Structure 1
Amino acid sequence: MKKFLLITSCVFLLCLSGCWGMKEVQHQIYITALGLDFKKGQYYVYFQALSFSNVARQEGGSSSSEEPPVLVGTGKGDTLEEAFDYIQRSSPSPLYFGHISTLYFTPSMLKHHLNEFLDYAGRTEVIRYNTGVFSIKKDIKEAMSLNGFFGKSPAFSFTFNPGEVLENDSFIPTITYQNLIQRYRQPVGSMLIPSIKVEESQWQEGEKPKSIVKISGGYLLAHKKITGWLNINELEGINWLDKDTTRLYLVYNEKK
């Protein structure tokens, strides 16, 4: 009887699916951010990839004098599909898009080709709904190549995790990919897409200026169109209308 049960168990075990098709971490390139631009009649897609071994080491408290490498690839084509395929064909390892945390759009992409991207992303399920959305006028590759403070990877920067910074000073509302697709086609109302720029005049690392990504203002989107851009000073007061505001700083001027 025991022999029969053993044989039966072995037969059933053979039918179970295992992890034979699972790929090792080092055998894939994990894309963490996408930049999208349209210029000279072609779509440009910028792929940012990080080394997860470096991120895990930094989260564990390990320190290193060397900055972790940031990989930025460029794909281009007459369509978004061609731009994505362009970079995937040149990659020595398969690209994995499940870890994308940030989207960067240039003004030309926002103004004229946002609908094409939303259609493409909706059909391919490339983007997670909680992915942060930002706009940038120039230096998109430079912004995607910057490491955080103390040699940390971009995974510890503002655009990857704005919530921690805005919890202490809710100076501007941020949006996710879910907010974008929910409100893009609404016939009424508008939304703000925060814009960023590369700044190197405020911080210094050792004896060298430290380049950082900083909020510069925001684009207003209404009725599927960009209706204007306001700088950060012109947006003062918008945080009073944001339900996610947690803390504000007020300056009292005796002359007013």
Structure 2
Amino acid sequence: MGGDPTIRLKEKRATIRMILLILMVVPLSGCWDQDEVSHVGFIISAGIDSTSNDKVDLTVQVFIPNPTSGGTSEGGGEGRVFTYTKRGDSMPEALSSLQKRLPRTLSWDHTKLIIIGEQLAARGMRDEIDFLFRDVEPREQANFLVCKGTAMKLLQSLDDPNTYDTIIRIADMPSVGTYNMNYVEESIAGESDAFILPVADTIELMMSKSPKTVLTIKGVAVIKDVKLAGWMSEQDSSGLHLGFQWLHQTSIGHNLSVTVKKDGGKITAKLVRRKLQLSPSIRNGKWSMKVKLKVDADIVQNSSSIDLLSSKDSLRALQGVFEDEIKQMLQRTLDEVQTRMDADVVGFARSFHKKHPHQWKKVEREWDSVFRTIEVKLEVICNLRKSGISNVKI
């Protein structure tokens, strides 16, 4: 009734053999992956340049893991970074030539930064971006930057012994990490075809009593029609980071502060949260935009003679001073992009498209000329939450 005992015993033995076989295969597959890592070079950053004779220079920083390190990790890794450059008629050809030169298979799976040189950015980088998106397909976390001069010279000048970790940390910075492949793709397909990218630069730091050249971020590049439209200093671009760039985010992810001069000293407030509202309007053929910005901030430094602890009135009175300063920051940014560059990187096109789709459709092809004439009204509300815990002047 229970079946032949001999048959049941054979079935159990077959099951045990299958389980043992699976257990033996699992570690073998791990060894195969480890063997693959020893044949791969991981591109952690890449620089793309255009030459005077219309060639393309591709510079890559390749991370080679130590055989005992077990591959790469997002938080750092044991290994060495090598920098290679190759020239070609196009980026695919330069990459192919580079691959032939190197004994390891190049992988874009861990690419953090893609830096576009100034000449290529000014000429137009549509072909190179198309190749990256269409063929190479680095991960979505790869971030795009622009540099003055050549990306090749910038990458080759880096002698930071911790280049791998530095690049990972820079890619994770709020001022860099949001300018990834998704952002670039959406911006190119957006209403205004204009967007911004961080500017890569270098800085000298002392390490073990000797100067080392380290990668850093300095300013903003304005991109229009996938070409470089101009540069904005940190001061001129502060309005973008403060309000315009990320319309739907309330928290301010990096240290953005505002300093005002008052009563023989300076008072600095650290901006903590903000809410930006764009209200587009079309009346009698006149296009206008109301920009309303609400900001929460904390006082972090006070070298003036104002006693901020004794009375809340002092803090309230300061709010108007900070509102005026923030309004000037926004206006300075608007003057740069609306008047000097004709590049709508502040989200006006999208706002008009959403609220007035029919009128937008009529001016879509002439948006630059319309954007230039839009009357902008700025309203800033600053809420100073904390005054600090000391009135002692140092």
Q: Assess same fold via TM > 0.5.
A: yes
Q: Within 5 Å, which residues of 2 pair with 1:161-240?
A: 161-162=169-170, 166=174, 174-188=178-192, 190-200=194-204, 203-240=205-242
Distance 1:156 1:192 in 2: 25
Structure 1 residue 42 corresponds to structure 2 residue 89 = no
Q: 1:215·1:232 contact (CA, 8 Å) conserved in 2?
A: no
- Name 1:90's counterpart in structure 2: 101
- Give the counterpart of 2:256 among 240, 248, 251: 248
* 1:100 aligned partner, one-letter code: T
* 1:3 aligned partner, one-letter code: K
Identity of aligned residues (%): 17
- Name 1:32's counterpart in structure 2: 44
**Cα drift, residue 222 of structure 1:** 2.7
Q: 2:121·2:228 contact (CA, 8 Å) conserved in 1?
A: yes
Distance 2:40 2:136 in 1: 18
Deviation readout 1:28-79 (Å, 9 max, x if unpaired): 211111111111321111111123347979x6999xxxxx742011122112
Of 234-243 and 136-145, more deviation after overlay is shown by: 136-145
**Cα drift, residue 139 of structure 1:** 5.3
Q: Within 5 Å, which residues of 2 pair with 1:111-150?
A: 111-138=122-149, 140-145=151-156, 146=158, 148=160
Q: 1:37·1:109 contact (CA, 8 Å) conserved in 2?
A: yes
Distance 1:173 1:28 in 2: 25
Of 34-43 and 205-214, more deviation after overlay is shown by: 205-214
Q: 2:38·2:65 contact (CA, 8 Å) conserved in 1?
A: no
Q: Within 5 Å, which residues of 2 pair with 1:71-86?
A: 71-86=82-97
The structure whose Rg is larger is: 2
- Name 1:65's counterpart in structure 2: none
The secondary structure found in structure 2 opposite 1:83 is: helix
Q: 1:174·1:194 contact (CA, 8 Å) conserved in 2?
A: no
| Root-mean-square deviation (Å) | 3.5
Q: 1:193·1:218 contact (CA, 8 Å) conserved in 2?
A: yes
- Give the counterpart of 1:154 among 138, 142, 163: 163
Distance 2:130 2:171 in 1: 28
**Cα drift, residue 5 of structure 1:** 4.7
Distance 2:42 2:234 in 1: 33
Distance 2:13 2:178 in 1: 59
* 1:154 aligned partner, one-letter code: T
Q: Within 5 Å, which residues of 2 pair with 1:58-69?
A: 69=80
1 or 2 for the larger relative contact order (CA 8 Å, sep ≥6)? 1
Q: 1:118·1:181 contact (CA, 8 Å) conserved in 2?
A: no
Distance 1:118 1:60 in 2: 27
Q: 2:118·2:149 contact (CA, 8 Å) conserved in 1?
A: no
Q: 1:174·1:193 contact (CA, 8 Å) conserved in 2?
A: no
TM score, norm. by length of structure 1: 0.77
Of 132-141 and 27-36, more deviation after overlay is shown by: 132-141
Distance 2:77 2:58 in 1: 33
Distance 1:45 1:60 in 2: 24
* 1:135 aligned partner, one-letter code: V
CA distance change for structure 1 residues 190 and 139 in 2, over 3 Å: closer, same or farther?
closer
TM score, norm. by length of structure 2: 0.52
Q: Report the structure, 1 or 2, having the larger helix content.
A: 2
Gaps of 5+ in 1: 63-67
**Cα drift, residue 225 of structure 1:** 3.3
* 1:82 aligned partner, one-letter code: E
CA distance change for structure 1 residues 98 and 225 in 2, over 3 Å: closer, same or farther?
same
Gaps of 5+ in 2: 1-6, 265-324, 326-394
CA distance change for structure 1 residues 215 and 21 in 2, over 3 Å: closer, same or farther?
closer
Q: 1:45·1:74 contact (CA, 8 Å) conserved in 2?
A: yes
Q: 2:50·2:56 contact (CA, 8 Å) conserved in 1?
A: yes
**Cα drift, residue 88 of structure 1:** 0.4
**Cα drift, residue 125 of structure 1:** 4.0
Of 211-220 and 29-38, more deviation after overlay is shown by: 211-220
Of 48-57 and 123-132, more deviation after overlay is shown by: 48-57
CA distance change for structure 1 residues 129 and 234 in 2, over 3 Å: closer, same or farther?
same
